[in-house]
Amino acid sequence: MATVDSVTGNAHQYGSEGTSVLGKNDFLNMLVAQLQNQDPLNPMNGEDFTAQLAQFSSLEQLSNVNDNMESLLLYNNVLCNYESVGLIGKEITAKGSQIVVDGGSADIIYNLPEDAREVTIEIYDMAGDRVDTLEYESQASGVNTVSWDCSDREKGVYSFSVSAKNSEEESLAVETMLVGIVDGVNFKGSQTYLSVDGQDILIGDVISVKGMGVTALNL
């Protein structure tokens, strides 16, 4: 709210929530308080009053813009949630470092920013214990896919990490990825997650989408 010093007639600014933020209602209350407490022998200058009215008008317009932006953001979230349901049944490639073991082999996918002289892949079980290490030489830049023989491993979700070095023995920033079929969509707070093989994938981490008879869509 706005308060006025009973002696000086000066307005002190306080937000309606007890903060220093001055909203349009606080501004209007302050303006009314100034008019009510002005010195009759020295009333507020007309130009000053006009300037304060202009400030109030600008503040109200900004408030309306903010309300419209919030409504637009809410609409956009609803639209995004609605469209994400259309991904069910489609194969996606997304940022991630997990693989599902349910057969004799599993694909490990990663992107190299440049040609690598050596690549090391370490695979871990759900307990965080390393269960296997794969080493390769001379892999080209771009997306690489390695088939891991997991025929002697228990079914379940495993994680992996990839480290690589170039010809100058410099470490490369490797981006790990996963591929799977979307079997559901989950909404948690303001975030949308795709369910893939029991994993929740943030929709913003999706790199590409493709379905039967549909060309891949890169995001």
CATH code, domain with 96: 2.60.40.4070
Give the model confidence (pLDDT) of 65-123 as tens digits. 666 666 656 545 556 666 778 888 899 999 999 998 988 999 999 999 999 999 999 99
| Token digits of residue 128 | 């965080």
Q: Are residues 154 and 59 in the same domain?
A: no
**214 or 26, which is more confident:** 26
Contact 116, 165 (CB under 8 A): yes
Q: Are residues 96 and 169 in the same domain?
A: yes
Q: Are residues 78 and 93 in the same domain?
A: no
Domain boundary among 35, 59, 83: 83
Q: Are residues 102 and 70 in the same domain?
A: no
pLDDT attached to residue 198: 79
Q: Which of 149, 113, 111 is nearest to 131 (CA)?
A: 149
Q: Are residues 64 and 27 in the same domain?
A: yes
Q: Are residues 111 and 210 in the same domain?
A: yes
Q: Are residues 118 and 34 in the same domain?
A: no
Give the model confidence (pLDDT) of 147-179 as tens digits. 999 999 999 999 999 999 999 999 999 999 998
Q: How many CA atoms lie within 13 A of 67 on its CB side?
A: 7
Q: Are residues 45 and 151 in the same domain?
A: no
Contact 88, 182 (CB under 8 A): yes
Domain boundary among 83, 117, 137: 83
CA distances (Å), origin 164, targets 111, 122, 149, 159, 168 = 11, 12, 21, 17, 11
Q: Rounded to 5 degrees, what are φ and ψ at 214?
A: -120, 130
pLDDT attached to residue 35: 65
What percent of the chain clears pLDDT 70, i.e. is strictly above it? 60
Mean pLDDT across 14-35: 59
Q: Are residues 133 and 186 in the same domain?
A: yes
C-alpha–C-alpha distance, residues 79 and 116, integer Å: 42
Domain membership of residue 92 as a residue range: 88-218
Q: Are residues 60 and 110 in the same domain?
A: no
CA distances (Å), origin 61, targets 14, 23, 65, 70 = 20, 12, 6, 14
User: What's the mean per-residue pLDDT of the chain?
Assistant: 77
Q: Give the total number of structural domains in the chain.
A: 2
**119 or 212, which is more confident:** 119
- The pTM assigned to this predicted structure is 0.58
Q: Which helix (H) or strand (E) holds 145?
A: strand 142-149
Whether the pLDDT of residue 20 is over 90: the answer is no
Whether the pLDDT of residue 34 is over 90: the answer is no
Domain boundary among 83, 113, 136: 83
pLDDT bin (cut points 50, 70, 90) of residue 212 is very low
pLDDT attached to residue 45: 54
> What is the CA angle 107-110-112, rounded to 5?
145
Whether the pLDDT of residue 144 is over 70: the answer is yes
C-alpha–C-alpha distance, residues 121 and 101, integer Å: 16
Q: Are residues 100 and 185 in the same domain?
A: yes
* Of the listed ranges 6-20, 27-41, 140-154, 165-179, the one predicted with least confidence: 6-20
Q: Are residues 14 and 98 in the same domain?
A: no
